[in-house]
């Protein structure tokens, strides 16, 4: 039995999310079906994180155990061949130690959220960015974002359906920067609550439009009440950017 670490890129638009489910297609289900076609084994895929419907990944990390002797490169090539035409690609594949775990060994998850700050309709970026037509002040958004960095009770920014035992999380990074008409929000933490990134981005957008101030964001944070949330950003602009592990 060999444990394989996979690095996965996908467009989340055709899927109900990462996790396998009975009522619609999932990224996990697509890869597991491809693995079964290759090996004849009921392969279970474990990921560093779970993404909602419409959320994308630049480099999701996952692992699976396979009994059939197969080289990592051949497995990667075979999976990519079987996954077509689904918008899922295996970018890397390597054998790892049996105790290595994509979820539990992970020490940091990184996300990027993309806002398209323009009036013209989206063409190439349709479904892969949140279009906000009104001008946004990225500098004000970045300054306000620093109020969320550190350890806080993120109940306000947590989905009502979140299954995490505690609302307390330590946010390591929340940076906002403009690149032309795009505004990119980079977030990093050991773990995130359900909808936490999207909820933080929605409130930062209100700051960018001068509808909220930094004080308003702090008040929402300290309220520890979902009712205090200003706005939950759509899934379109959210990308799982990567997972970090001990050297």
Q: In this structure, are 168 and 122 located in the same domain? A: yes
| Active-site pick, 11, 52, 216, 244 | 52
Number of domains in the chain: 2
pLDDT in tens, 9-41: 999 999 999 999 888 999 999 999 999 999 999
Q: State the average pLDDT for the chain.
A: 97
Which whole number is the average pLDDT over 160-181? 95
Q: In this structure, are 86 and 51 located in the same domain? A: yes
Q: In this structure, are 64 and 128 located in the same domain? A: no
State how far the Cα of 2 lies from the Cα of 65, in Å rounded to an integer: 5
User: Is 153 tagged catalytic?
Assistant: no
CATH number at residue 124: 3.30.70.660
> Is 179 within a domain?
yes
State how far the Cα of 220 lies from the Cα of 190, in Å rounded to an integer: 22
pTM (global) more than 0.75:
yes
Q: Which domain holds residue 173?
A: 108-244
What pLDDT is stored for residue 28 in this prediction? 97
Query: Which residues on neighbouring strands pair with residue 56, listed in sequence order?
Result: 239
Tokens of 125: 């970026």
Q: In this structure, are 123 and 240 located in the same domain? A: yes
State how far the Cα of 130 lies from the Cα of 151, in Å rounded to an integer: 27
> Is 102 within a domain?
no
Q: In this structure, are 14 and 135 located in the same domain? A: no
CATH number at residue 90: 3.30.70.580
What pLDDT is stored for residue 169 in this prediction? 98
> Is 101 within a domain?
no
> Is 56 within a domain?
yes
């Amino acid at each position: 039995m060999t444990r394989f670490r996979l690095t996965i890129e996908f467009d989340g638009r055709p899927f109900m999310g990462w996790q396998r489910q009975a009522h619609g297609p999932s990224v996990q289900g697509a890869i597991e079906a491809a693995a079964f076609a290759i090996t004849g084994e009921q392969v279970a895929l474990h990921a560093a994180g779970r993404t909602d419907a419409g959320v994308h990944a630049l480099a999701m990390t996952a692992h699976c155990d396979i009994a059939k002797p197969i080289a990592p490169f051949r497995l990667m090539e075979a999976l990519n061949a079987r996954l077509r035409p689904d918008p899922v690609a295996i970018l890397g594949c390597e054998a790892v130690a049996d105790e290595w775990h994509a979820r539990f060994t992970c020490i940091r998850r990184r996300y990027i959220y993309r806002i398209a700050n323009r009036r013209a309709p989206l063409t190439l970026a349709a479904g892969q960015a949140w279009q906000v037509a009104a001008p946004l002040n990225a500098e004000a958004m970045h300054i306000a974002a620093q109020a969320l960095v550190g350890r806080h009770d993120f109940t306000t920014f947590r989905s009502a359906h979140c299954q995490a035992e505690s609302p307390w999380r330590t946010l390591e990074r929340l940076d906002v920067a403009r690149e032309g008409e795009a505004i990119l929000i980079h977030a990093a933490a050991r773990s995130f609550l359900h909808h936490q990134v999207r909820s933080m981005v929605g409130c930062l957008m209100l700051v960018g439009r001068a509808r909220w101030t930094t004080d308003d964001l702090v008040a929402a944070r300290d309220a520890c009440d979902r009712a205090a949330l200003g706005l939950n950003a759509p899934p379109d602009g959210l990308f799982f950017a990567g997972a970090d592990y001990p050297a």
